[in-house]
Chains A and B, each alone.
Chain A
Amino acid sequence: MTIKIIEVLITGLLMGGLYALVAVGLSLQYGVARILNISHGEFIMLGGLTTWALYTALGVNPLLSLAICGPVAFILGFVIHRTLFKRLLASSASPAIFESNSMLAAFGLMFILQNIALLIWGPEIRGYSYLVIPVHFLGTLFGANRLLTFGLALVIGLGFYLFLSLTRTGKAIRAAAQDPPTAGLMGVNINNVLALCFGLGAAMAGIAGVLISMCYPVHGVMGLEYTIIAIIVVVLGGLGSIPGSFIGGFILGLIGSVVTFFEPGLALVAYYVIFILLLLVRPTGILGR
């Protein structure tokens, strides 16, 4: 029994690490660029399917795919912001109008990316096995791939936290999140920072997609589920807080794992219940202000 409990808890934490990474990307896009990016999950899907295609067709190691999908997703995100969202921002009369317009545009983007993926890869569920080596841990068994993805999610999250805390660009991003006009008066080119944030968010999603594909099957319409999870985690942890995203991710992962243990079909339902309760009780999130 105790072993079963440990197993459920660890499964939750492992899942939570991935959730956190997915959420950090969205938190950046919504917290700084003010875009509630409904197409966030599509970048995850693209990362996952690309990794699958590279692995099965060319035998490319998924770890190498990280170095491909991250930068490609970044460029894609950066260009999308430069061409689409920058114009929307310029033509929106107020920040509130931009928020609703950009969300609708992201909805459109979701359908475009999803259908491109369906045209290329079709609707089939794809999977490959990578590092499915059992590892013994406290009397339980876990795949080495799960532990690896968890470790990578933590390292990437920590690296990103340090980037925001210590570097000149990181500080400019935080300043732009707190007060865009004043950051501009300090000499920060706001349009560049916003595009950078959107690109970095897309890169995080692409990377998360690669990691997810190492452990779970992927398919063309998997994106929205992850978008919703990311939104819940961001609200749970507090918008714009990376430690918050990790706390939120772990909490949601644990809840998902416990619920799945009793009734696998109810995990997503449980997430929604948590989401609604949260909005009623503490809409600013755990670490939010």
Chain B
Amino acid sequence: MLEVQDLKTFYGKIQVLWGVSLQVQEGEIVAIVGPNGAGKTTLLNSILGLVRPTSGSVTFLGRRIDGLPSYAIAEQGISVVPESGRVFPDMNVRENLEMGAYYAWERRKEALAYVYQLFPRLKERERQLARTLSGGERQMLAIARALMSRPRLCLFDEPSYGLAPLMVREIFEIVQKIREQGVTVLLVEQNVRRALEIADRAYVLENGRICMEGECTELLESDHIRRAYLGM
């Protein structure tokens, strides 16, 4: 479904990605894990058109999307839950959700009913400004917003970042639920254990290169992962 080929990205003169390749099949949850500063967010931003890769290609459903502006990439059916949610603070919950259906505006009523059924708590706070929500609620709003366009693929950038453990568990349950709804998931996470528990496959990104990849069950057994990320 999504194929990234030999992606190289620079920030100014500093090279961040050194030829990253990965694949996501329809219906999968694929995780990208790795330490801070490994280039995980840059990788997502390169896929989303927020930074332009210098070389390599990104193909979605057989179509090249690298080099397209981010609004055109969104229109292809790729949604994102940005790091720490990035909801629109001075818009209410409903307006935030409506923005998620920006390019599918005619279907926004059905989409609202759909996400309210997934997140009843958002329905209760419909008229509340997003800035007044708690961190967990904001993250939920960001996820619901990403689902409003009924995307084929949903990208998550560190969804557990800064949340309390109970909330983290809830968010990961939601990610699994979303996959059951037929949405393919690409999950970028620092919480390696949790990510490997819910994903099917994972890529380990270190210093801008993929250093390991495979089924999560295998990765959880590997010495490198156990030592570097799970503290065993």
Contact = CB atoms under 8 A, between A and B. Distances in A.
B89 A178 contact: yes
B29 to A, nearest CB: 21
A175 B99 contact: yes
Interface in B40-99: 48, 50, 69-71, 74-75, 80, 82, 86, 88-91, 95, 98-99
B86 A186 contact: no
Given A174-B88, A178-B88, A178-B91, A184 B69 contact: yes
Residue with the greatest number of chain A CB neighbours at <10 A, chosen from B50, B99, B149: B99
A108 interface: no
B71 A171 contact: no
Contacts of A179: 86, 88
Size range of the chain A interface in the assembly: 10 to 19
Nearest to A182: B86
B103 interface: yes
Interface in A172-223: 172, 174-175, 178-179, 181-190
Interface of A: 168, 171-172, 174-175, 178-179, 181-190, 289
Given A185-B80, A186-B145, 19 more contacts: A168-B98, A174-B88, A175-B88, A175-B99, A179-B88, A181-B70, A182-B82, A182-B86, A183-B99, A185-B48, A185-B50, A185-B70, A185-B71, A186-B74, A186-B103, A187-B71, A187-B75, A187-B103, A189-B69
27 contacts: A168-B98, A168-B105, A171-B95, A171-B98, A172-B102, A174-B90, A175-B88, A175-B91, A175-B99, A178-B90, A178-B91, A181-B70, A183-B88, A184-B69, A184-B70, A185-B50, A185-B70, A185-B71, A185-B80, A185-B82, A186-B71, A186-B102, A186-B103, A186-B145, A187-B75, A189-B71, A190-B71
